[in-house]
A and B are shown apart, each in its own frame.
Chain A
Amino acid sequence: MLAHAFQQLINGLALGSVYGLIAIGYTMVYGIIGMINFAHGDIYMVSAFIAVTSFTLLAALGVTSVPLALLIVLVVAIALTSAYGWSVERIAYRPLRSAPRLAPLISAIGMSIFLQNMVQVTQGARVKPIPPLLTGGIDLFTHDGVTVSFAYSQMLIIVVTLALMLGFTYLITRTSFGRQQRACEQDRTMTALLGINVDRTISLTFMIGAALAAVAGVLVTVYYGVVDFYIGFVAGIKAFTAAVLGGVGSLPGAMLGGLIIGLLEAFWAAYLSPEYKDVATFAILILVLMFRPSGLLGRPEVEKV
């Protein structure tokens, strides 16, 4: 019983880390331009496809070292996916920055449909499997005949996520780009008057969000070994739920929300019913928002008339 629960804890943490990485992209974009980037889940899906292609290409080129292949794929996926993030902002959102509030939302939904179908047309609708890269793991302990194992792929997810979180927190709180980014969140007009290139900052925010989603995409490809063009939607709404649960605009909140949803899903699927794990996720979201309308770590908006 204990061992089983411990195993679910590990599974949930790995899953939650991935949701958290994607959720940060939502929360950053929401913080800076106040819109839901509905295409963000599809950016993550694009990155998973880039990862599959790169892994296959590397295997064909004869790269056999797994750490080297992982590193190359991460770099390639981050570079190309950031380009996608940049282009999405440039094409679909920048022209609508001063438009009514719902206009960018609709163009984001359009972008999400476009990306999904683009991948379906160019890469095919079939599920793409890759051979397992990281197999095995460490057996932690055995209790009542159940062995708790910590797979290498799960370890990779948790370690990479932790490292990224540290780097990312440093970037936002200590560097000059981070200051510009936070300034833009507070007041874009004032920031522009102080001589900061607001357009560039917003573009970079989109690229960073896309880069984090790219890492999530590569990690998931390694973890599950299969991708298809539809994974972006499910991961996208889960991650968005995580961002809202933690409080939109709060970066630690996004990670916390991701972990809560990952753990909830793992435990619910293991102990109650795997079919209804998504219902549990959304029900928790509704419950939390009933009592804390601006999320767990979000600051309540002060409204003035």
Chain B
Amino acid sequence: MTAVIQTSHAPTRSERLKDAGGVAFVALVLGIPMIGLTTVDAGGMLEVRTRWAALGLFILLAFLGRLLFSALGDQLRARQRTKARLGSAPASGSRPVLLKALGWGLLGLSLALPIFWGDNRYVIDTATTVLIYIMLGWGLNVVVGLAGLLDLGYVAFYAVGAYSYALLSTQFGWGFWEALPVAGGAAAAFGLLLGWPTLRLRGDYLAIVTLGFGEIIRIILVNWTDLSGGPNGISSIPRPTFFGLPFKPPSDDGPATFAGFFGLEYVPEQRVVFLYCLILALALLTNLFVSRMRKLPIGRAWEAMREDEIACKALGMNVTNVKLSAFALGAMLGGFAGVFFAARQGFISPESFVFSESAIILAIVVLGGMGSQLGVVLASLVLVLIPEVGRDFAEYRMLIFGAAMILIMVWKPGGLLSHREPTLKAPSSFIRQSKREAA
């Protein structure tokens, strides 16, 4: 908390130049060891190479960027000040309606996608990835957004789901639909396993324990070669079938296939579109489930605990059950997403379940605006599409990704949709009645 003293005078040109010069100097200091100098391998020994041109460009960019930003910032502030003086309140009344429309629009788009772009494998694949993250985001939203428990190891449950399906299908020949609830249950059990020792922890202590739990699961998967195949992972995981009809080129003597059964011509895109529809259905079910849970007593208890744990205890709530149920349900949803992931990829290895995945899922929840279901969708779109757009300059894509995370957070600290709809509203008849009584 710092006191902000706003000076009324705009900075003069020389002040601006001085400020930008300071930024350029910092850029010089930061840039010398990283951009200006580098070491290359020259026959077993390192050799220093210089890149002064790149360093110069970087400093120039920092200088001009600072000038531009300070000018833009001044204009923005001036506009806000005049607005405040005129006393025009921000138009907030139309926002929920707009958001609702946006939500339905996105739903329509996602339903229309396989019809209009069904033959474009790239679009469907990317959309499937987005939906996996949306589902993971909605699952983690139960733990972080609703119950307020900071979980940095969510990817562990994703891994448990994926490996459960992989093992059940490759070792015991289980199908996708039989394995789905079992894998979800296994993930939920792991959720309880994590939740139970951490009941007394709060805030950042919880964060590091969950991070450690995620790493423990990953290290076990890497090293327990008999169970998980170690770093090589598990391959040739069966793909999901359409009520027992596989997506394969039809053969005369083999079992019936999807294309053969419906008398369609076989195209490989059928499977991709089917997978897309599957994850869309799973994600929508998740959304329905979570939004219904929020209206149940347990959902209300989660949100109450997020706001004030001590008050909840004082009101006689069983905080242990509330916490454990949030962990277990969040983990179960992550497990479902994991099953789908394993079935889609056909191959899984511990590399898919590293900490940065957890970080990305958490970023989706926080960037979207904690507790907002639509926010998760928007944040997943942003975070999955940024690296996709950056494909052309592949080595910079994660760089851009990291920078975008910082910029979005600085720009909107509460998340893209920080507006939080109260889940509990007094019914309108009650309000009318109390007004009448007051009058």
A80 and B406: CB pair below 8 A?
no
B200 and A36: CB pair below 8 A?
no
Question: Which of B39-47, B77-85, B98-106, B164-172 forms part of the interface with chain A?
Answer: B39-47
- Most chain A CB within 10 A, of B150, B200, B212, B395, is at B212
Pick the contact of A279 from B219, B356, B395 — CB < 8 Å? B219
- Does A138 touch B at the CB level, under 8 Å? no
Over the window 120-162 of chain A, the binary record of Cβ atoms lying under 8 Å from chain B Cβ atoms (1 yes, 0 no) is 1111101011110000000000000000000000000000000
Query: In the assembly, what is the distance between CA of A156 and CA of B205, in Å?
Result: 33
Query: In the assembly, what is the distance between CA of A132 and CA of B34, in Å?
Result: 23
B33 and A305: CB pair below 8 A?
no
User: Taking CB as reference atom, which chain B residue is nearest A106?
Assistant: B366
User: Taking CB as reference atom, which chain A residue is nearest B4?
Assistant: A98
Query: In the assembly, what is the distance between CA of A255 and CA of B396, in Å?
Result: 37
**Minimal beta-carbon separation of A229 from chain B (angstroms):** 11
A282 and B213: CB pair below 8 A?
yes
- Does B285 touch A at the CB level, under 8 Å? no
**Minimal beta-carbon separation of B332 from chain A (angstroms):** 22
B212 and A285: CB pair below 8 A?
yes
- Does A95 touch B at the CB level, under 8 Å? yes
B1 and A98: CB pair below 8 A?
yes
With A241-B208, A248-B204: A117-B38 Cβ-Cβ less than 8 Å: no
A282 and B41: CB pair below 8 A?
no
With A57-B48, A60-B47, A106-B362: A92-B33 Cβ-Cβ less than 8 Å: no
Query: In the assembly, what is the distance between CA of A115 and CA of B406, in Å?
Result: 12
B370 and A102: CB pair below 8 A?
yes
Query: In the assembly, what is the distance between CA of A199 and CA of B209, in Å?
Result: 31
With A46-B34, A49-B33, A119-B34: A293-B211 Cβ-Cβ less than 8 Å: no
Among B265-279, those with CB < 8 Å from A are none
A282 and B34: CB pair below 8 A?
no
B197 and A290: CB pair below 8 A?
yes
- Does B404 touch A at the CB level, under 8 Å? yes
**Minimal beta-carbon separation of B405 from chain A (angstroms):** 3
**Minimal beta-carbon separation of B330 from chain A (angstroms):** 16
Question: Please, which residues of chain A bring their CB within 8 A of the CB of B310?
Answer: 303, 305
B204 and A57: CB pair below 8 A?
no
B39 and A56: CB pair below 8 A?
yes
Over the window 168-209 of chain A, the binary record of Cβ atoms lying under 8 Å from chain B Cβ atoms (1 yes, 0 no) is 000000000000000000001100100000110000000000
**Minimal beta-carbon separation of B44 from chain A (angstroms):** 8
**Minimal beta-carbon separation of B349 from chain A (angstroms):** 16
B residues contacting A by CB (< 8 A) are: 1-3, 26, 29-30, 32-35, 37-41, 45-48, 144, 150, 197-198, 200-205, 207-209, 211-213, 215-216, 219-220, 222-223, 308, 310-311, 314, 355-356, 359, 362-363, 366-367, 370, 395-396, 398-399, 401-406, 409-410, 413-414
A-B contact pairs, 11 of them (CB 8 A): A96-B409, A100-B414, A102-B370, A106-B409, A118-B34, A120-B395, A126-B41, A199-B2, A278-B215, A293-B202, A293-B205
